[in-house]
Amino acid sequence: MKPRPPANPHEQQKRLFAEWFDLRPSKARRACPRIVAGKRCLSTVVGERCICIRHREPLDHPRLWRTSDGHHIFTAEPYEVDFDDLAPLAAELKDLGLNIRLSGLSPWYPGRTFLIFISRESWSSQGRFMALNRRDVYGGAD
């Protein structure tokens, strides 16, 4: 018998990110892609509009995670995003030295949201995504 998923979506999300990507929740006060780049979130600076505020729609359900070696990883799990909204975000992330990866496998609301995964260029999640795409992560048959 399979264990039932937690009723709290945040708890389920934490469990699945730990299982799928070996990530743990960060203790940072804000979830912002700039933190992944080693910079400070500008959302509280007067007159500044930080990337996490300007791109609020594609960065829906934001979370900040830590890898086992201490690097920050940012995720967002929006319901939908127009390419016209995603392209400027991707360009700004590239200027910060960050990678963006999209996946249809999202722990937030499986089948309704997709995963935006933002990391430093030096940290690759390619192997983890490839492994996820080869198995049924939602508990069905292989």
The predicted-structure confidence for 82-130, as pLDDT tens digits, reads as follows 888 899 999 999 999 999 988 877 777 667 888 898 998 665 555 555 4
Task: Check: pTM over 0.85? Answer yes or no.
Answer: no
What average pLDDT does this structure show over 131-136?
Answer: 47
Is residue 78 one of the residues assigned to a domain?
yes
CB 63 within 8 A of CB 33: no
Does a structural domain hold residue 1? Answer: no
pLDDT at 3: 53
Domain count, the chain: 1
Does residue 139 sit within a domain? no
Tell me 125's DSSP state.
-
Please report whether residue 88 resides in a domain. Answer: yes
pLDDT digits (tens, 9 = 90+) for 12-52: 777 777 777 788 888 888 899 999 999 999 988 866 689 99
**Does the residue 140 lie in any domain?**
no
Residue 87's pLDDT is 92
Q: What is the pLDDT of residues 65-81, one digit of tens each?
A: 998 888 899 999 888 88
Residue 120 lies in a domain: yes
> Which range marks the domain in which residue 31 is found?
9-133
The answer to whether residue 93 is domain-embedded is yes
